[in-house]
Structure formats: structure tokens, C-alpha cells
Structure 1
Amino acid sequence: MKKIMMLVMTMTLLLITGCSSEGQEGEEYDLAVPEGEIKGTLLLPEGEGPYKVAIIHQGSGPTDRDGNSTIAGDNNSLKMVAEKLAEEGIASVRYDKRGIAESMPLIESEEDLVFEDYVNDMIMWIDKVEADDRFDEIYLIGHSEGALISAAAAMEREVEGFISLAGVGERASDTLRRQLSTQPDEITELIEPIMIELENGRLVEDVPEILQSLFRNSIQPYMISWFQYDPVEVYNRIDSPILVIQGDNDVQVTVDDAMILADASGTDPVIIEGMNHVLKNAPEDVEGNLETYGDPDLDLHPNLMSTILEFIKD
């Protein structure tokens, strides 16, 4: 079961729990919502504005605005992206999604959360930034599950561009099936009936104990809503320019995912050799690869930011 959880930790673990956000740099920049405030950080570059600005959305699970997770560890990947953008004259907004870290009070229980909550939050962030006269061009950067969230928001609001980092090309249910396909037959036979029910919008009451961490009752409303989104359909409906970036040493999302997303958006994907899921240069072996998830001092892959900056500055 430990192996199962490691494979899908950024896919389905939405634990409502704290996550370190200490040592944030930049200006406190929060979004008012009916339940309270979504806590964010604005990092401004030196010089006079108005600035180009990127709104950064992290991946799934208990992952904070810096890209750090209470499960996978601290890697500071998204904080590094923001800092390197600032060095190049580009502002950024990154935030703790509702239910996580400093935005934890917005969600009392997992069962109160659905995928559209995150999409609507991103739309409100776009509106907030657009109304701020310090900025003139808005870009969205979404990592992993955050790529789909950002893409869904980009369907609803016009932005200057959208960058998909390690975005998944299939419906979440199909990706979950793929990730679990190497498990013993007795496990996959238990999983499939549950998946079918959730895909059809129905809650499953009697989940076997061995699968509770994946399909517990409180997480099922989120999964039902998430499974309805087809990334191909979403990316195909975005009018803004799209950049699809994928590392070939990613043990959670594949190059095939990037090819699917790029084809849907009519672009060529950028495949970065040696880059893993947390945007670091990593070895091919799984154990060594996963060790980088908890290394906040390891810099981003050297080819990542040049690719992002070329797109934004073009």
C-alpha cells in the first residue's frame, strides 16, 4: 500500500492539513472570498511597473505556494520560479490554495471541497490582478494538477499566455488507473468498480480498508468533480498562447501526457532532458528521483527558466 500512495501522492491526497509557509519573501497579497481570505505572496521585481505578472498554481495534495508538501517534503520549486521571474523583471503571485497552509481555515472538511472551487479561485485571482494597475500582462503557470486548474480558468478569462508544467493529458481517472495498473490483480479488481461509480457521479459507501486512503468518503466529492474534466477538451478551448513543458525524468507524469496536451493546443511541447516532477535535475532511478522532492537547496533544472522566460518575453 505504501507503494500505491507514493505513486499517486500528487494525484489524490487532498489532506486538509498544515504545510510550512514560513520565510515567505515578498508582499502579502491576499484574495477575499466569502469564507475568508486565500493567503498569497506577491513578488515584485526591481524597477518601475507596470510589470508582466505570472499567477502560479501548485499541484495537488497538501502542497503550499512554494511547492512544498507535508508528504513529499520541501523542495521550494515554485518559490524558486517566482524568484527567478523577479530577477528577470517579471512579477508573480503564488498562493496557498483553500484548505492548505495559511489558507487552511477556508475548508473545515475534505468533503466540502470540489474541483471547481480551485478553478473559481483562480478566476478570482485573475480578476484581482487584472484590476491592479501595477500589472499589464497576465500569465498563468500551473504545475501538475494546477495545470488543469489554470487551464480551466484560462477558458473563462483572457490572459496573455498559459504555461503548463507537468500537466496530465488524460482525465484524472484514467491517469489514476495507469498509475495503479502495476499493482496486484486483487488490488486492481477492487479499484475498478469504485472508479466506475465515481466517474458516473455516484458516491461509494463501502470502500475496502486497504483503499481508504485513496477513496475515503470525504474525498469522493472532489474526485467525482475532478474526473469530469478532460484536459484535451479544456486545452483545446483556450484562446491564449500555450506552452507545454515536461521533464523526461518525471516519475508521475509522462512525455506522452505532454504530447497529448500539445496536440490539443496546437503547439510543440518542450521536453526537458533530466527534469523530474518537482522541476529539478534528477536521476532516472525512482529512489534517487524522489529524494529531490525533499531538497530545498537543489536548484531548478537549468533549462526550465530559460524556456519559461522565452515564452513570456517573446
Structure 2
Amino acid sequence: MSAQEAITTTHAGLQGDLAGTLEGTLAQGTPAVLIVPGSGPTDRDGNSPLGIAAQSYKLLAEALAQRGIASVRIDKRGMFGSAAAVPDPNDVTVDDYVADIESWADRISQASGGQCVWLLGHSEGGLMTMAAAAKDPSRYCGLLLVASVARNLGDVLRAQLAANPANAPLLPEIDAIIAKLKAGDSVPAAGMHPALVPLFAPQVQGFLGSVFRQEPAEVIAAHDLPVLILNGSADLQTPAADARALANVRPDATLVILERANHVLKQVPDDTSAANLATYADPDLPLAPGVVDAIVEVVTGSDAS
């Protein structure tokens, strides 16, 4: 087992520390990866009180350390170990998360002799790392995009809602809300259809608007850093088509589609959604074959097999 230790950072925009776990050793000549978690209450280990206990980030960090790559996995501002950083975890924007990523990158770089840092973003975290690299690519070695969406998240959300025929009468209102939030406006809950209030609640509108203004195809093309685009063929949330679309924008990127791997980077035994979702609650199931090799190969610049 590799050594784990607590690590923190903070910056002027916060009221307290951001907390994470360092796996391996930060040192000159040792590559370092910052693991940025996915959407909602996803913690540094890749778990969530919403029914996810796959330990994906913890398993990944341990595997990388065994291959000589250090990592820091983090709790987002306002959540878990980073709860003291801000009073309200919903009061956040993409720019806020980018500022946190920059603070973490500086902390890791200072501890490892001034080296650049690799950014690994999972799911929504992929969009945050793309935004960070687009803002200031000089801080980073490259991007490791895992199950990252290629489409505007406003379009993704609309498509998900439109897939349910029962939502058809609400689609014009949904379109209007997404357009207003994308433009930086707010939408009063009082005038909203009650079924839409949980989704577009006033406390998350600032975040949603900032996300809807991000165009993955633009931010991934804003620099020439090395990029790994990794997706599972059995991902129920981010289809492999998204990975291929990102790779079309960055044809120089390394594209890896892992057969039967799912959104939490576990291998699924069959094509049923029940078997797929069962892996979300299984911390003892190892990462899908090929996940670690793909990352190691890009980070070290050599064939990991």
C-alpha cells in the first residue's frame, strides 16, 4: 500500500481550507495528478451519499502510486472535508472551481519542485479541468478527461428531459429557462412549473448558468496540451460518442474506449442496467482493465503495458 496523507490549500476567495488526500510522494521528477471529482456531492474517494460507494478515485490513486505517480484527490468547496471553505456549496460557478483547481495546482507544484501538474477530471470534473486548462495552460502538464461530456450541458439536460414523453408539455418552458440561465439571468421559482423547481432551484441557478456557458469543443481546443480522452463503452451517463466527439476536436489527443467499462470505471458483467448500477455500490470491485494503463501511458509518455 502507498502512503496516504492529508493535504490542504486555500486562497483569497475562500473562508477556510480545501481538503484532499495525497497518495504517493510529491517530489521533483515524480509526476503528479490532481483528481477533480464529478457532479453533485461526490467526495474525494469517488463516493456519494446519493448511492455511490465505488471508491473509484481512491482505487485509481492507489494504483497510480504503485506505478510511481503521485496524486491528490479532493473534496469540493463546501462539501465533506472542505465544508469550511464556503458556507453554501451551491453558491458556486465554473470560475470558482477553476480558482480552486489553480490553488491545488500551485500547492502541488510547490511541493514537487515547481513541476507542472496533470489534471484528471471525471464526468463534470472533466469540464472543470478543461475550463482551467483553457484559462491558463502554462500551469498544467496536460488533461486526463475521464467520462467527460462533449456537448453543452444545457443541451444534454434538455435531451435527457425530452427523452421522457411525459415532459413534452414542459419543453418550451425548459428551453426558455436554459436560455435565460445561459444568458446570465435568473428565473423566479414562483413562476416555474412545480415539476421544474427542484431541477432549476434558485440556489443552483448561478452554477447552472455558468456551466451552460461552457462549450466543451471550444475549451478543449483552446490549448495544445497533451490530452487523454478515456471512456467506457458501458457508460450509462456519458456515452462513448462524447469521447469520440472530443477527439474529433482534438485529433492529436489519445482516445481510449474501454469495452464494458462504465461511468464509475468498473467492468460490467452484462448489458443490463441493473448489473451496471450494481457496480456503483461495490467498493471491492477493482477498476476496469486498462483504466490505469491508459493514464500511466500518457502521464509517463511511455507504453504502460
Give unpaired runs (5+ residues) of structure 2. none
Residue 43 in structure 1 maps to residue 8 in structure 2: no
Decide whether the 8 Å contact of 1:147 with 1:165 is kept in 2: yes
Q: 1:134 to 1:42 in 2, by over 3 A?
A: farther
Which residue of 67, 78, 83 corresponds with 2:57?
A: 78
Cα drift, residue 178 of structure 1: 1.8
Counterparts of 1:109 and 1:49, CA distance in 2: 37
Secondary structure of 2:17 counterpart: strand
The residue identity in structure 1 corresponding to 2:210 is S
Moved more, 178-187 or 230-239: 178-187
Residue 222 in structure 1 maps to residue 203 in structure 2: no
Cα drift, residue 25 of structure 1: 6.5
Cα deviation digits, residues 122-146 of structure 1 (max 9, x gap): 0111122122235745211110111
Indicate the residue corresponding to 1:120 in structure 2: 99
- Identical positions, percent: 36
Which residue of 170, 177, 180 corresponds with 1:197?
A: 180
Counterparts of 1:224 and 1:300, CA distance in 2: 34
Secondary structure of 1:312 counterpart: helix
Indicate the residue corresponding to 1:274 in structure 2: 260
Indicate the residue corresponding to 1:168 in structure 2: 149
The residue identity in structure 1 corresponding to 2:239 is T
Superposition misfits of 4+ residues, deviation over 6 angstroms:
none
Give unpaired runs (5+ residues) of structure 1. 1-23
The residue identity in structure 1 corresponding to 2:184 is G
Moved more, 95-104 or 108-117: 108-117
Cα deviation digits, residues 199-221 of structure 1 (max 9, x gap): 22211112222222211111101
Cα drift, residue 79 of structure 1: 0.6
Counterparts of 2:132 and 2:179, CA distance in 1: 27
The residue identity in structure 2 corresponding to 1:313 is T
The residue identity in structure 2 corresponding to 1:309 is V
Indicate the residue corresponding to 2:285 in structure 1: 298
Indicate the residue corresponding to 1:64 in structure 2: 43
1:83-98 alignment runs, 5 A limit: 83-98=62-77
Residue 211 in structure 1 maps to residue 164 in structure 2: no
Counterparts of 1:152 and 1:199, CA distance in 2: 16
Counterparts of 1:122 and 1:187, CA distance in 2: 37
Cα drift, residue 54 of structure 1: 0.6
Counterparts of 2:85 and 2:25, CA distance in 1: 30
Counterparts of 2:292 and 2:254, CA distance in 1: 17
Counterparts of 1:91 and 1:275, CA distance in 2: 24
1:3-42 alignment runs, 5 A limit: 26-33=4-11, 34-42=14-22
The residue identity in structure 1 corresponding to 2:16 is G
Indicate the residue corresponding to 1:17 in structure 2: none
Decide whether the 8 Å contact of 2:77 with 2:89 is kept in 1: no
Indicate the residue corresponding to 1:14 in structure 2: none
The residue identity in structure 2 corresponding to 1:202 is D
Number of matched pairs = 290
Which residue of 145, 152, 161 corresponds with 1:180?
A: 161
Counterparts of 1:110 and 1:27, CA distance in 2: 24
Secondary structure of 1:42 counterpart: strand
Decide whether the 8 Å contact of 1:166 with 1:245 is kept in 2: yes
Q: 1:286 to 1:189 in 2, by over 3 A?
A: farther
Q: What CA RMSD, in Å, does the superposition of the two structures yield over aligned residues?
A: 2.0
Counterparts of 2:172 and 2:116, CA distance in 1: 49
Counterparts of 1:297 and 1:264, CA distance in 2: 36
Using structure 2 for the length normalisation, give the TM-score.
Answer: 0.89
Counterparts of 2:21 and 2:254, CA distance in 1: 32
Cα drift, residue 190 of structure 1: 4.0
Decide whether the 8 Å contact of 1:39 with 1:102 is kept in 2: yes
Q: 1:86 to 1:256 in 2, by over 3 A?
A: same
The residue identity in structure 1 corresponding to 2:156 is T
Counterparts of 2:38 and 2:180, CA distance in 1: 25
Residue 108 in structure 1 maps to residue 95 in structure 2: no
Cα deviation digits, residues 262-306 of structure 1 (max 9, x gap): 122223521111011111112322222122111111111011111
Decide whether the 8 Å contact of 1:51 with 1:135 is kept in 2: no
Indicate the residue corresponding to 1:245 in structure 2: 230
Decide whether the 8 Å contact of 1:56 with 1:142 is kept in 2: yes
